[in-house]
Structure 1
Amino acid sequence: MKRLVVLGGGESGVGTALLGKAKGCDVFVSDKGIIKDKYKQVLIHNEIEFEDGVHSEDRILNADIVMKSPGIPNQVDLIQRLIKKGVPVVSEIEFAAKFTNATLVGITGSNGKTTTATLTHHLLKQELNVGLAGNIGDSFAKQILEHDYKNYVLEISSFQLDDIIDFKPHIAVLTNITPDHLDRYEYQFEKYIASKFRIVENQTKEDYFIYDGDDEVILDWLEKHPVQAILLPFSLTKTFGNGAYLDNENIKITIDNNQIIMPTKNLALEGKHNIKNAMAASTVAHLLKIRKQTIRESLENFQGVEHRLENVLKINKVQYINDSKATNVNATYFALETMDAPTVWIVGGVDKGNNYQELFQFVNEKVKAIICLGTDNKKLMDNFGGMVDIIIETEFMSEAVKIAYKVAEAGDSVLLSPACASFDLFENYEDRGRQFKDAVRNL
């Protein structure tokens, strides 16, 4: 009987514990923080031993295998000691994938992965038995245990990829790579790029790799590190024999001389980056033999993702937009790019080593006022102070929204697109987005 130690009692940890127990492991869950009540109840109900508020080293170091939450960096002393002892330390996707024969679609990237994963699932579920997991919804491990879908769409972060050994998606998607989470990669962009590319490291020539053919970082890496899989790039400017490209207003996708054409003019999602997300998702659907009529209808009725450029309300002819999921500069770049009205921009939070330069053109063109919502706004003030007439600091969402309400005029937009992580003032980006929506509804 294998001893499985799970570090972190959140969604992925509890899912792994349940799957491990069902497969005959001796399971112990340890969380240095406090495990949420709903997860405690699940562990108690399933008679799984756990502790929180502490890591009992003697009960962890005797593991045969350790599954760690993606939030725990590998540099932590306890993890280093496990690695020195030769104990495999893996992520949930690595652990869980061993217990399914399903076709796996793995989606990663600095931005767009949640939208692309959700959209891909939306296209596939019309005709296939398919689960959506990874960084999103119910954990992958729990879904294998409860549903055993024939296919999975997995949204995968670089942190989850850091802890794989054999994990291999049949179809890998890389939406883009821009500097993000550099605080976890010793501020070395190369290390972060390498981490993202682990999604293809176990692929063979029977597998597929779908990626942004306009992304210089990706193209440069592929030149130096050839991959085994069949390459299917997508692009807004180039054309490909195999892959997806834009021809006038149409997306054309070719795989082995089999071409489908999708009009973009009725896409439910707006913005250039969403044409790319649609290309990636449609390429997966085409590979998995979804009918083109189904793909077309699904692209036209897809509602998008909560906290991602989500229209909340229009008040006094001012549109309030929740883009709380924009936790890095590049995501905010896409948001500002799609703004066509004068914008009151709410920004700030935990800076992960951001370089704000690429936003300057949009701020100069479109932003009339900036509201800094963070505990430390100095960098924002230094970067943007000279660009707008109004720049205000606050630490409360309700206050930020009230200020925005005062500053905005008919025809303007108020955009929450923080470009930063949320942990200084909020539990997570969802909490930040919900507080924004509540504050707007209370105006």
Structure 2
Amino acid sequence: MQKLSILGGGESGVGAAVLAKQQGYAVFLSDKSSIKPKYKAILNTHNVNWEEGKHSEAEILSASTIIKSPGIPDEAELVQKAIKKGIDVISEIEFAYAFTQATLIGITGSNGKTTVTNMIYHILKNAGLSVSMAGNVGDSFAYQVATNPKEIYVLELSSFQLDGIKTFKPHIAIITSITPDHLDRYNYEFKNYVEAKFRITKNQTNKDYLIYNADESSITNWLQKNKIIAQQIPMSIHPILHENSICKKENKLEININNKIFSMSLDHLNVQGEHNAKNAMASSAVAKLLKIRKDTIRESMESFQGVEHRLENVKTVNKVSFINDSKATNINATYYALDSMKHPTIWILGGVDKGNDYHELLPLVNEKVKSIICLGVDNSRIIEAYGNVVDELFETTSMQEAVAMAMHLAEDNDQVLLSPACASFDLFENYEDRGRQFKDAVRKLI
């Protein structure tokens, strides 16, 4: 019996364990931290051997394959030991790929990937197809392959997940954007991060498709220097010359695939903003490649409600509107959020800095922001960037304190924006926890 070790007892690790057990592997799962009760229950139900609070090195390194959590860097000592021993170290995405014949749609990008994943799923579900979301959303890919197989999977893929692939390939790949993010994981070299994102297309053939944002030089520069085999479909907010393309013309999206043109008014979009126009371009192109009816695409775009924690209008309290953009974990995502503000803004930001250049936001801060509330353990770089730019800058250490401070500072018609531009792990479990705490605190305001 082939032995498989899994590092990490979260969503991806537990899903991989269930699939591996189903496929006849001898499975050992190890987590240096504690494992949540819900995951322990799943592991016990499937008779998986597991440990927490330590790594039993000899046991782990006796496997022929190791599946590691996306959160564990390749530089980790145990991972390096495994690689030196010749053990195959892969991601859960790579492992699950070997056990499904489903059509795979893979979406990656610094921003927009969650919205595009949800949009595509919404369209395909409305079309009556056998489809599910996985990767960074919902139950893990491996767990779904094991317990709830579908004909199509829409996979939201982070650069960390793509780092661990060897043979995995989606039939349709989408790169929504590549702007500096997670640079702490890539030796503070942007080019390393770009390379990681483009791994999504490395195994594609000429029967597969790559949809990409042609308005970003980080993407177009890479494509000019590197040959890819997949059929390319560029998307742009400007008219574009390419045999297959998606662009914006006046107030319409125009999708030209295999010389068949489909156009749709942006008025059909239930979610507004230039970034959502791009998200709609990518999603509609996938729908056309899968031969979904035009009416279904339009109806789906009209009914799509957006994604929780992404420019989510929470509540208006005494003429002050509160907006939850907790999913903005990098500068570029926050740029879109600030750019969409229409009234004087009290901006709540901060958390774990991933190599941000806060000065990129200075023009928008000057134009839109009246007060800044820092919400993090270390706010020194934010204070350095904006301390002399806004009249009021405060430091807080809890969401309740930050929201109360914002309400105290706000005047009629002001907007309070939680758009942290940072990861959440200093004060919160994840960005969802941060967003929910924000909404809870706002709803308790009188």
The TM-score range, normalised by the shorter chain, is over 0.9
Provide the rounded CA distance (Å) in 2 between the counterparts of 1:368 and 1:270: 24
Provide the rounded CA distance (Å) in 2 between the counterparts of 1:296 and 1:191: 38
Q: Is the 8 A contact 2:311 2:337 kept in 1?
A: yes
Partner of 1:17: 17
What's the C-alpha RMSD, in Å, of the aligned pairs? 0.8
Give SS of 1:414's match: strand
What is the identity, as a one-letter code, of the residue corresponding to 1:239?
Answer: I
Partner of 2:65: 65
Partner of 1:284: 286
1:85 counterpart = 2:85:
yes
Partner of 2:304: 302
Provide the rounded CA distance (Å) in 1 between the counterparts of 2:118 and 2:25: 32
Provide the rounded CA distance (Å) in 1 between the counterparts of 2:292 and 2:147: 25
Post-superposition, which runs of at least 4 consecutive aligned residues in structure 1 deviate over 2 A?
none
Provide the rounded CA distance (Å) in 2 between the counterparts of 1:236 and 1:358: 22
Q: TM-score, normalised by structure 1?
A: 0.99
Partner of 2:191: 190
Provide the rounded CA distance (Å) in 2 between the counterparts of 1:204 and 1:340: 45
In the alignment, structure 2 segments of 5+ residues that lack a partner are none
Provide the rounded CA distance (Å) in 2 between the counterparts of 1:341 and 1:261: 33
How much has 1:349 moved relative to structure 2?
0.7
Post-superposition Cα deviations, 1:96-128, rounded to whole Å, max 9, x if no partner, equal 011000000000001111111111111111221
Provide the rounded CA distance (Å) in 1 between the counterparts of 2:239 and 2:30: 50
Post-superposition Cα deviations, 1:41-60, rounded to whole Å, max 9, x if no partner, equal 11112111000000001110
Partner of 2:345: 343
Give SS of 2:323's match: strand
1:123 counterpart = 2:123:
yes
Partner of 1:247: 249
Partner of 1:48: 48
Provide the rounded CA distance (Å) in 2 between the counterparts of 1:382 and 1:204: 48
Partner of 1:201: 202
Q: Is the 8 A contact 1:109 1:176 kept in 2?
A: yes
Q: Is the 8 A contact 1:119 1:281 kept in 2?
A: yes
Partner of 2:105: 105
What is the identity, as a one-letter code, of the residue corresponding to 1:437?
Answer: K
Partner of 2:163: 162
What is the identity, as a one-letter code, of the residue corresponding to 1:92?
Answer: E
How much has 1:266 moved relative to structure 2?
3.1
Give SS of 1:21's match: helix
**Structure 2 counterparts to residues 33-432 of structure 1, below 5 A:** 33-127=33-127, 128-240=129-241, 241-432=243-434
Provide the rounded CA distance (Å) in 2 between the counterparts of 1:299 and 1:75: 43
How much has 1:259 moved relative to structure 2?
1.0
Provide the rounded CA distance (Å) in 1 between the counterparts of 2:82 and 2:395: 44
What is the identity, as a one-letter code, of the residue corresponding to 1:176?
Answer: S
How much has 1:342 moved relative to structure 2?
0.9
Provide the rounded CA distance (Å) in 1 between the counterparts of 2:301 and 2:420: 28
What is the identity, as a one-letter code, of the residue corresponding to 2:192?
Answer: K
Give SS of 1:265's match: helix
How much has 1:247 moved relative to structure 2?
0.9
What is the identity, as a one-letter code, of the residue corresponding to 1:232?
Answer: I
How much has 1:357 moved relative to structure 2?
2.0
How much has 1:238 moved relative to structure 2?
3.0
Provide the rounded CA distance (Å) in 2 between the counterparts of 1:313 and 1:94: 41
Q: Is the 8 A contact 2:211 2:232 kept in 1?
A: yes
Q: Is the 8 A contact 1:243 1:255 kept in 2?
A: yes
What is the identity, as a one-letter code, of the residue corresponding to 2:81?
Answer: R
Provide the rounded CA distance (Å) in 2 between the counterparts of 1:80 and 1:376: 31
Give SS of 1:386's match: coil
Provide the rounded CA distance (Å) in 2 between the counterparts of 1:380 and 1:13: 35
Post-superposition Cα deviations, 1:301-342, rounded to whole Å, max 9, x if no partner, equal 111111111110011111100000101000000100111111
Post-superposition Cα deviations, 1:5-33, rounded to whole Å, max 9, x if no partner, equal 11101111111101111111111110001
Give SS of 1:285's match: helix
What is the identity, as a one-letter code, of the residue corresponding to 2:211?
Answer: I
Deviation larger for 379-388 or 161-170 = 379-388
How much has 1:268 moved relative to structure 2?
1.1
Provide the rounded CA distance (Å) in 2 between the counterparts of 1:269 and 1:438: 24
Give SS of 1:314's match: strand
In the alignment, structure 1 segments of 5+ residues that lack a partner are none
Partner of 1:6: 6
How much has 1:221 moved relative to structure 2?
0.2
Post-superposition Cα deviations, 1:250-308, rounded to whole Å, max 9, x if no partner, equal 10001111111111023111211110011011111110011111111111111111111
Provide the rounded CA distance (Å) in 2 between the counterparts of 1:120 and 1:355: 32
Deviation larger for 218-227 or 259-268 = 259-268
- Percent identity between the two aligned chains: 58
Aligned length: 443
Provide the rounded CA distance (Å) in 2 between the counterparts of 1:413 and 1:301: 26
